[in-house]
Amino acid sequence: MSDEGNIITDLDLGAPVPNGADTLPTAGIISQYIKDLSVENPNAPESFNWTDAPQIDVQFNIAARDISDEISEIELKISINSKHQTGTAFIVELSYGGLIGMRNMEEQHKHAFTYAEAPRLLFPFARRVISDAVRDAGFPPLLLEPVDFNGIYVQQLAASQGAAGEGAEAPASEA
């Protein structure tokens, strides 16, 4: 590194940059929030007496939209249905959002951060909201298992590249 004429050399890139220039790739959560939360307990109070084990169906979807050149909104959608032989005990639908800042990143890295890393960072908070919502509906808290968003991303990327080789397009925004 030299300090000649307010020019320093970026050690990683070897290119001269103005002193204090922000050129390193960076990404992170700016804020997070509940966009929408729906909790249904359609068969209360009878459902509290059901003794058979419920079938729990959990569905995930990841959506993203650009807010500006450096900010994107990531929306983690989680739908849960708890069904017994007698009927539905509860339904929880959560849209959990996060504003993600990304600067000085190549497009492929932005895509990976948007659909793999950002949902991984948001998931523990969404998981807590769901656990509390199920508890507040009168049932034992539902603790969702951790999700390998990176593994899902890699699978879907491989599938979409295979489909693109066959001339079809696969959605990259669902996990």
Q: Are 74 and 119 in contact (CB under 8 A)?
A: yes
Q: Are 103 and 22 in contact (CB under 8 A)?
A: yes
Domain range for 159 is 27-164
Q: Are 29 and 102 in contact (CB under 8 A)?
A: no
Q: Look at residue 136 in the predicted model and tell me its pLDDT.
A: 95
Give domain status of residue 18, yes or no: no
Q: 122 to each of 1, 25, 89, how far by Cα in Å?
A: 38, 20, 27
* Range in 6-15, 89-98, 164-173 with the lowest mean pLDDT: 6-15
With cut-offs at 50, 70 and 90, classify the pLDDT of residue 40: very high
Give domain status of residue 5, yes or no: no
Average pLDDT of the segment spanning 68-80:
96
Give domain status of residue 118, yes or no: yes
Tokens read off for 89: 């005990």
Q: Look at residue 114 in the predicted model and tell me its pLDDT.
A: 93
Give domain status of residue 146, yes or no: yes
CATH number at residue 34: 3.10.420.10
Give domain status of residue 159, yes or no: yes
Q: Look at residue 168 in the predicted model and tell me its pLDDT.
A: 45
Q: Look at residue 25 in the predicted model and tell me its pLDDT.
A: 83
CA proximity to 174, closest of 58, 60, 78: 60
Give domain status of residue 97, yes or no: yes
Average pLDDT of the segment spanning 46-71:
94
Give domain status of residue 1, yes or no: no
Q: Is residue 36 classed exposed, middle or buried when 0-12, 13-18 and 19+ CB atoms within 10 A define those classes?
A: exposed
Q: How many independent structural domains does the chain possess?
A: 1
pLDDT reading at 22 higher than 60: yes
Q: Look at residue 162 in the predicted model and tell me its pLDDT.
A: 82
pLDDT reading at 8 higher than 60: no
Q: Are 82 and 90 in contact (CB under 8 A)?
A: yes
> Rounded to whole angstroms, how far apart are CA atoms 78 and 149?
13
Averaged pLDDT score across all residues of the chain: 86
Give domain status of residue 16, yes or no: no
The tens digit of pLDDT for each residue in 119-154 reads: 999 999 999 999 999 999 999 999 999 999 999 999
> Rounded to whole angstroms, how far apart are CA atoms 28 and 35?
19
